[in-house]
Amino acid sequence: MLERLIATIDAEAQAQGVSDEKFVRQQRILDELAPRMWRSLRAALKAEAEKYPKHFTFEVQPDIQVVIRGASRRVLETEYLSESKSVIFRCGEVEGERLIRLDSQSRAVICDEEGKPYPSVEFVAERLLALILQ
């Protein structure tokens, strides 16, 4: 009986060690991929805004920020937070945060508030720009 308990404790400790190691590995990958995902989102926001110059004005900001002004005077502000690997946004009374995480194939994705990945950065850009028009 004692051997079985010790074997169980050792197996749990080994499993925890593997889990911790996997987490650290994923964080290193995310450290590299999250800034790229932000740059892709920033480029998508700029491209979408430039498609509709009568409705949106993309303002030049530091690399971690985006400000887009709408014809209706509403302003969308977004910012990349490197420590939490997230994008925060604010447009009028609406504000939120979207996390950048790894999917099952170790690709960086932007997730909704429930943790489900969005289909593309273009999709996220459209959703954010829609806030200006609401």
- The domain spanning residue 90 has which CATH number? 3.30.920
d(CA 81, CA 83): 6
Per DSSP, what are the bridge partners of residue 36? none
Q: Please determine, for residue 8, whether its predicted confidence score (pLDDT) is greater than 80.
A: no
CA distance 96 to 106: 25
| pLDDT-above-90 percentage for the chain | 67
pTM of structure: 0.81
Handedness of CA 14, 19, 24, 25 (dihedral sign): positive
What is the domain count for the chain?
Answer: 1
At 27 the three-state DSSP class reads helix
Q: What is the pLDDT of residues 19-74, one digit of tens each?
A: 667 777 888 889 999 999 999 999 999 999 999 999 999 998 888 999 999 988 89
Higher pLDDT, 4 or 101: 101
- Domain extent for 11: 2-133
Backbone angles phi, psi at 28, to 5 degrees: -65, -40
| pLDDT at 5 (0 to 100) | 65
pLDDT score recorded for residue 72 = 85
Confidence of residue 6 (pLDDT cuts 50, 70, 90): low
Q: How far is CA 109 from CA 34, 38, 106, in A?
A: 8, 10, 9
Give mean pLDDT, residues 107-116: 93
Contact 121, 44 (CB under 8 A): yes
